[in-house]
A = this chain, B = another copy of it.
Amino acid sequence: MRVSLSTVSIFNGLDEIALNDILSQIIFQRKSFSEGALVVSQGEECNRLMILIEGKVKGEMSSPTGKSLKIEDMEAPSVLASAFLFGQNNTFPVNILAETEVKFIVIPKTELLKLFQISDRILQNFLSMISSRAQFLSEKLRFHSFKALKAKLSFYLMNESRQREMFKLRHSQNELSELFAVARPSVGRAFMQLQEDGIIDVRYKQVHILNRSSLALACNE
């Protein structure tokens, strides 16, 4: 189940052999956490790159009320903390929780700088990752600026369906309520409204998109 390191985005374009050579030149750690563990807590100093090579984690922001806003799910292979490593206030903005057994490779910031000098390709990969990250955060921000819940849900359904007319929801209404930062019954109501509008047909996790163009319009309300 563990992934090959060459599939990790920061090592894009490097083959196993080159990669082994490069990695032999720096110091790094391996770390494991068991299911449910708090891998990183919000506010903790961000001074090392964490590469998830096995398992799944989720990132969530604990809002001040104690409730949490789920930011994203990640599964191996992926790179955590990339965008926060070099900032002024380099702290993690989220809690990261292990959803399964997870394994990481941990590269200290100083060693990462060495990597940049060794391989131009790694630097370019890193720049690309960090930019995508900022794009991701902007998208999240736009998403939360969608005021109406119906619009949020419509947008979500547009993305989840990917052209298909029928599909199964990956998330429960409870999870959606965390993603959208609303109460659970509100999610149910929003589904109901889209159904009453004749835009979708939904029964438990099974969704049938009846009118995709109306769904697109519903994103704009």
Which residues does A use to contact B, with CB under 8 Å? 61, 63-65, 67, 69, 71, 83-91, 93-94, 123-124, 127-128, 130-135, 137-142, 144-148, 151, 181, 219-221
Contact = CB atoms under 8 A, between A and B. Distances in A.
Contacts of A86: 124, 127-128, 130-131
A30 to B, nearest CB: 25
A212 B219 CA distance: 40
A85 to B, nearest CB: 6
Contacts of A91: 135
A144 B145 contact: yes
Given A71-B141, A87-B133, A93-B138, 13 more contacts: A61-B141, A61-B145, A65-B148, A67-B147, A84-B134, A86-B131, A87-B134, A87-B135, A88-B131, A89-B135, A91-B135, A134-B137, A137-B138
A135 B43 CA distance: 11
A128 B151 CA distance: 36
A61 B87 CA distance: 24
Nearest to A66: B220
A131 B61 contact: no
Contacts of A141: 61, 69, 71, 93, 137, 140-141, 144
Nearest to A139: B93
A145 B83 contact: no
A181 B147 contact: yes
Contact of A90 (B65, B71, B131): B131
A143 to B, nearest CB: 10
A145 B87 contact: no
Contacts of A64: 146, 151, 219-221
A112 B89 CA distance: 25
B144 A144 contact: yes
A57 B62 CA distance: 32
Pairs A-B, 5 closest by C-beta atoms: A87-B131, A83-B134, A93-B138, A64-B220, A137-B137
Nearest to A124: B86
